[in-house]
Amino acid sequence: MAVNLKWVSLFVLVFQNSFLALILRYSKTLPDKYLSSTAVVCSECLKFFTSMLFHVIQRTREVKPPERYSFKMLLNELFGKESDCIKVMVPAVLYLIQNNLQYFSASKLDAATYQVTYQMKIITTAIFSVIILKRTLFKHQWVSICLLAIGIALVQFPTGDSGSKNSDNAMGDKILGLISVITACVLSGIAGVYFEKILKKSKVTLWARNVQLSLFSIIPGYFIGVLLMDGEIVKEKGFFGGYTRWTVLAILFQAFGGILVAVVVKYADNILKGFATSISIILSCTISFFAFDFNITLIFIIGCTMVMYATYLYGKPVKQENETSYTMLEEQNVEEEIEFSQLELKEIDSVSV
């Protein structure tokens, strides 16, 4: 049974990692242009209602008769003195900006380059874990971070002719896409580590935290992103202007993909997750080659190989010589499992992509 669950976990991880990037990219290449700000708000609304449903179900089961779980208890858990809801505003806004950047970068980069470059979130998460959580990284993890950085840099080399005007425009788009992905990865690292720090110091359930995160993303996302920044376009074309079935599919993947991954990720160890990332990168490159006329060069292949090996190396367990070191390693691995599960509930970086 455990073996079957691992295979199911592998399939889900590969499916989520591969097709989110591909669907985002394809939805942004269609003639009907939709607003990323409205798509992000729709995704956050779906996350809000889903997380609220799971939270209420969980708490209803936990509250024993003669007590009943009430609306007053729900409000107290979400916005009471011990909820730390004010602190959640910080990662919520960071995630909001990150999600908008993901849509933007998907419109500027091909799916394969986007998929590989977005693995930079491993670097940013690791660095901010050391700075904020005082976590210790082992030598092989620092080596993997260096390899990952080199591999991502190689992937950015031009894959087509550089003499034409169209090629110059494509290079400009690639630079903008690269900047947006790097920014998204930095925000993902800060928000994820900060979110984990909040969870460690609180008794609020993970589902309640995700309700807060979604709510505090919806409010600025709608009033600032939709009404203030894109208000004129919304008045002209409507909130759902330019939406297609691929737009809806992208929103569904962003909303439920992370939750689905979080459910199965407990059955997948770090090696399996690294293996899933490698398969998803290969799959994205293959589909991009046939569906989007993506030109795969030798340098791109070398860069992808380095990224895939670095991802595997980062999650590789290490045998320690003494029992104390081994215990410390096990505690760190447990913390990392919790961190990635929590990040997948909210993100897309992550690994969703």
Complete DSSP assignment for 172-195: HHHHHHHHHHHHHHHHHHHHHHHH
3-class SS of residue 199: helix
Angle at 223 between CA 177 and CA 93, to 5 degrees: 55
Residue 271's pLDDT is what? 59
Residue 160's pLDDT is what? 53
287-329 confidence digits (pLDDT tens): 877 777 777 788 888 888 888 888 878 777 665 434 444 344 4
Q: How far apart are CA 45 and CA 300, in angstroms?
A: 38
DSSP H/E element including 303? helix 298-314
Residue 227's pLDDT is what? 92
Instruction: Summarize the confidence of residues 99-108 as an average pLDDT.
Output: 88
49-75 confidence digits (pLDDT tens): 999 999 999 999 988 888 888 899 999
Q: How far apart are CA 176 and CA 182, in angstroms?
A: 10
Cis upstream peptide for 66 (omega within 30°): yes
Q: What is the mean pLDDT of the chain?
A: 79
Domains of the chain, by residue range, sit at 9-64+85-346
Q: Which residue has the higher pLDDT, 335 or 276?
A: 276
Q: Which residue has the higher pLDDT, 140 or 324?
A: 140
Q: Which of 122, 108, 190, 119 is nearest to 153 (CA)?
A: 119
